[in-house]
Amino acid sequence: MTTLLDNLQSDIYSFNKVANDNLHNLWDESETLLKELKDIEQSLTIDESLDISRLEKQSEKWYKNSINNLKAYNTGINKFSKSINNPKDNIDLDEAYTYPLNLNNYPVTNKEKSSAEREYDLKTIKLENREELIKAIILHLLKIGQCDVVKEIVKELPPDSHVEIDESLLEKFELLNKIVDDIVIRHDLHKVLDWFKAKYDSIVKSSPSGILNNPIPSTSQIEFKFHMLQFILLLNSKNALDAYLYSMNNFSKFIKDYLHGISPIMTLLLYNNSLSNLSPNQGKFSKMQDDRKLFEFITKLKHKFNAEKDTKKSNQAEFKFVAELLDSFDDINKNQSLFVNIANEFISEYCNDLKLSNDSSLFQSILAGYIYLPSFYKYNQIQSKFNKMLPSNANDNGDGNANEQLIINFDATYHFDLPFQLPDSNRFLFNYHPIFICPISREQLIPITDTSDNHSNEEHKNKKKKRSHSESQGNLNIAAVNPVVVLNYCQHLALRESVWHLSKKGTEIFKCHYCYKKHKFSDVTEAYFVDL
Residues 39-60: pLDDT tens digits? 888 887 777 777 777 778 888 8
| Same structural domain, 190 and 153 | no
User: What integer pLDDT is reported at residue 209 of this predicted model?
Assistant: 55
Asked whether residue 166 is domain-assigned, the answer is yes
The more confident residue out of 450 and 344 is: 344
> Which candidate, 334, 225, 236, 241, places its Cα nearest to that of 294?
236
Check whether residue 154 and residue 199 sit in a common domain.
no
The per-residue pLDDT for 196 is: 93
Measured CA to CA, the distance from residue 308 to residue 123 in angstroms comes to: 64
Q: Which of 319, 334, 353 is the C-terminal boundary of a domain? A: 353
Q: Using 50, 70 and 90 to split pLDDT, how confident is the model at 530? A: low
Whether 15 is covered by a domain: the verdict is: yes
Task: For residue 64, report the phi and psi dihedrals to the nearest 5 degrees.
Answer: -65, -45
For the CA atoms of the chain, what is the radius of gyration? 35
Of 170, 197, 217, the one marking the end of a domain is: 170
Spatial CA neighbour of 29 closest among 58, 6, 72, 71: 58
Q: Which residue has the higher pLDDT, 447 or 464?
A: 447
Please say whether the beta carbons of 145 and 180 come within 8 A: yes
- CA gap 222, 334 in Å, rounded: 21
Whole-angstrom Cα distance, residue 348 to residue 518?
A: 34
Q: How far apart are alpha carbons 319 and 93 in whole angstroms?
A: 50
User: How far apart are alpha carbons 527 and 491 in whole angstroms?
Assistant: 10
Is the residue at 372 inside a domain? no
The conformation of residue 315, written as its DSSP 8-state character, comes to -
- What was the pLDDT predicted at 411? 47
Q: How far is CA 424 from CA 99, 362, 371, 427, 508, in A?
A: 26, 21, 12, 5, 43
Note the pLDDT of residue 478: 45
- Mean of all residue pLDDT scores within the chain: 75
Measured in Å, how far apart are the chain's first and last C-alpha atoms? 22
How many Å apart are CA 403 and CA 302, to the nearest integer?
Answer: 68
Residues 153-158, mean pLDDT to the nearest whole number: 84
Query: Rounded to an integer, what distance in angstroms lies between the CA atom of residue 217 and that of residue 200?
Result: 7
Report the DSSP beta bridge partners of residue 493.
486
Q: Residue 487 corresponds to which amino acid?
A: L
Reduce the DSSP state of residue 437 to 3 states and report it: strand
For residue 229, give the amino acid letter.
L
Please report whether residue 462 resides in a domain.
Answer: yes
Give domain status of residue 141, yes or no: yes
Mean pLDDT, residues 411-440: 65
* Shared-domain flag, residues 206 and 333: yes
With a cut of 90, say whether residue 400 has pLDDT above it.
no
Which range has the worst mean pLDDT, 34-48, 415-429, 485-499? 415-429
Half-sphere exposure of 276 (CA within 13 A, CB side): 15
Mark whether 165 and 179 lie in a shared domain: no
Q: What integer pLDDT is reported at residue 343 of this predicted model?
A: 93
Residues 157 and 216 in one domain: no
Among the residue ranges 172-176, 375-379, 412-416, the one predicted with the least confidence is 412-416
Answer whether residue 377 is part of any domain.
no
pLDDT at residue 414 above 50? no
Q: What percent of the chain has pLDDT over 70?
A: 68
Whether 186 and 313 share a structural domain: yes
pTM confidence score: 0.57
Partner residues linked to 283 by β-bridges: none
Residue 343 sits in the same domain as residue 446: no
| Helices 255-276 & 284-311 angle (0-180, nearest 10) | 170
Q: With beta carbons less than 8 A apart as the criterion, state whether 464 and 501 touch.
A: no
**pLDDT given at position 311:** 61
In contact, 294 and 271? CB cutoff 8 Å: yes
| 346 pLDDT more than 90 | yes
Domain extent for 202: 174-353
Check: CB of residue 170 under 8 Å from CB of residue 143.
no
Q: Would 107 be classed as within a structural domain?
A: no
User: In angstroms, how far is CA 121 from the centroid of its own chain?
Assistant: 32
Residue 178 predicted with pLDDT over 90:
yes
DSSP 68-106: HHHHHHHHHHHHHHHHHT-GGG---GGGSSSS---TT-E
Please give the average per-residue pLDDT across 391-410, as a whole number: 48
* pLDDT interval class at 438 (50, 70, 90): confident
Whether residues 307 and 216 fall in one domain? yes
Highest mean pLDDT of the ranges 137-146, 193-202, 470-479 = 193-202
**Extended beta strands in 390-434, E state:** none
Amino acid letter for position 304: K
Report residue 280's pLDDT band, with 50, 70 and 90 as the boundaries: very low
Q: Which of 170, 187, 217 is the last residue of a domain?
A: 170
CA distance 321 to 343: 13
In degrees and rounded to multiples of 5, residue 517 shows phi and psi of -75, 150
pLDDT above 90 (res 268): no
CA 97 to CA 106: how far, in whole Å?
A: 21
Tell me: do 198 and 347 sit in the same domain: yes
List Cβ<8 Å contacts ≥24 apart for 301-306: 301/264, 301/267, 301/268, 301/326, 302/326, 302/327, 304/264, 305/264
| pLDDT tens digit sequence for 181-240 | 999 999 999 999 999 999 888 877 776 654 445 444 445 789 999 999 999 999 888 778
pLDDT at 341 (0 to 100): 92
* Closest alpha carbon to 262 in 240, 232, 299: 232
**Whether residue 146 sits in one domain with residue 74:** no
Q: Does position 336 have pLDDT exceeding 90, yes or no?
A: yes
Q: Is residue 380 part of a domain?
A: no
Say if residue 189 is in the same domain as residue 293.
yes
User: Residue-wise over 110-126: b if at least 16 C-beta within 10 A, else e?
Assistant: eeeeeeeebeeebeebb
Lowest mean pLDDT among 113-117, 217-221, 454-458: 454-458
User: What gap in Å lies between CA 20 and CA 317, rounded to an integer?
Assistant: 52
pLDDT attached to residue 106: 56
Q: Is the predicted pLDDT of residue 281 greater than 80, yes or no?
A: no
Look at the alpha carbons of 27, 28, 33, 35 in this order and tell me if their dihedral is positive or negative.
Answer: positive
**What pLDDT is attached to residue 465?**
42
The residues, any chain, with a CB within 8 Å of residue 327's CB and separated by 6 or more, are 302, 335
Q: How many domains are contained in the chain?
A: 4
- Listing DSSP states for 230-289 in one string gives HHHHHHHTT-HHHHHHHHHHHSGGGHHHHHHHHHHHHHHHHHHHHHHTS-TT--HHHHHH
- Range of lowest pLDDT (101-110, 333-342, 517-526): 101-110
**Helices H / strands E in the chain, number of each:** 17, 9
Q: Is 179 in the same domain as 230?
A: yes
pLDDT at 373 over 80: yes
> In terms of pLDDT, which residue wins out, 3 or 23?
23
Q: How far apart are CA 76 and CA 487, in angstroms?
A: 62
- 494 - beta bridge partners? 485
